[in-house]
Structure 1
């Protein structure tokens, strides 16, 4: 089965979150899918981010990471997910912030000469997220559990992507409601 980076895969609202969301069903070890486990899929990610990513205008055209930087990108991805997920859940810890800053620094040291490389841009995006003035805009989708930024005016966005997760939740509610109602 082939995989492609579609607009839905970039619904996080920030490059760092889209990279963190490259792990599908993160909390379910039996069904978990790490999209970056396949080097070809990881190499294709910058192309999708260049087309669909919310921060594509900030970093210019992104480039794939070099082979020796792949592990550093994965380490950064995991540090981003741990820190920001804990923050949303109200369980943020200084150690998680320190891990994120260390992973960011390691990437910047290693690939500083390649400012458009995916790992460098992801590190910069994570730093921008840390500095955002409204941290309450960071949320977790109740359907897929991806991290996303709520950029709506009234901060009422509930899903990472209404067309996918929102519709699935609404269809599920409709199904349950119709199943529970007795036939006339």
Structure 2
């Protein structure tokens, strides 16, 4: 199946969150889609993050990872997702922080790829570590429409959706449809 990484896929505000959001419909076992199930999708994600990612200036050029590093990237993605969701929900779960730090350590201990770029897994580890080191729990949110993690960088911290143009519009359209349907019923 062909898939394109669009700017919407990078609405998390941090590379670690964008990687965590690579699982679509995470909590719906029937419709869940892991965009990193295919190695070529991981490679194209790194390329797209160079174009659309919010941390592209911080890391410079992101590069692909070899198939032997895929499992550590997936472990990091899952640990980041569990930890940051717990942060949003104000759950005191120190074991999730420990899991995330272990996943970060596993990635950064691997030998570098070289080639004039930073490997996607290493950049993701640095991004996650930055979120842990500089916590802004009131800025970290979960989109009520798609359940993606995102950083609210609005001045008054009032952002509701990961992407207003996608999730915000879908939510507003559903609301409008329900209202108009109720008005037409006797």
- Identify the TM-score tier after normalising by the shorter chain: over 0.9
The root-mean-square deviation of aligned C-alpha atoms, in Å, is 1.4
**1:149 correspondence with 2:164:** no
Residue 165 (structure 2) aligns with: 163
Whether the 8 Å CA contact 1:83–1:92 is kept in 2: the answer is no
Distance in 2 (alpha carbons) for counterparts of 1:133 and 1:23: 23
Residue 40 (structure 2) aligns with: 40
Distance in 2 (alpha carbons) for counterparts of 1:30 and 1:90: 28
For structure 1, the 5+ residue unaligned runs are none
Tell me the TM-score normalized by structure 1.
Answer: 0.96
Shift of 1:113: 5.7
Shift of 1:135: 1.9
Whether the 8 Å CA contact 1:20–1:81 is kept in 2: the answer is yes
Shift of 1:64: 0.7
Whether the 8 Å CA contact 2:113–2:119 is kept in 1: the answer is no
Residue 98 (structure 2) aligns with: 98
For structure 2, the 5+ residue unaligned runs are none
Listed one character per residue, the Cα deviations across residues 109-143 of structure 1 (whole Å, up to 9, x for unaligned) are: 01456570000000000011112252210000000
Shift of 1:42: 1.0
Matches for 1:33-182 after TM superposition, within 5 Å: 33-112=33-112, 114=114, 116-182=118-184
1:27–1:183 distance in 2 versus 1, CA, 3 Å: closer
Task: Answer with 12-21 or 37-46: which moved more.
Answer: 37-46
Whether the 8 Å CA contact 1:13–1:53 is kept in 2: the answer is yes
Whether the 8 Å CA contact 2:11–2:150 is kept in 1: the answer is yes
Q: Give the aligned length.
A: 184
Whether the 8 Å CA contact 1:111–1:117 is kept in 2: the answer is no
Tell me the TM-score normalized by structure 2.
Answer: 0.95
Distance in 2 (alpha carbons) for counterparts of 1:92 and 1:39: 35
1:111–1:159 distance in 2 versus 1, CA, 3 Å: farther
1:113–1:90 distance in 2 versus 1, CA, 3 Å: same
1:52–1:95 distance in 2 versus 1, CA, 3 Å: same
Whether the 8 Å CA contact 1:46–1:118 is kept in 2: the answer is yes
What's the secondary structure of 1:120's corresponding residue?
A: helix
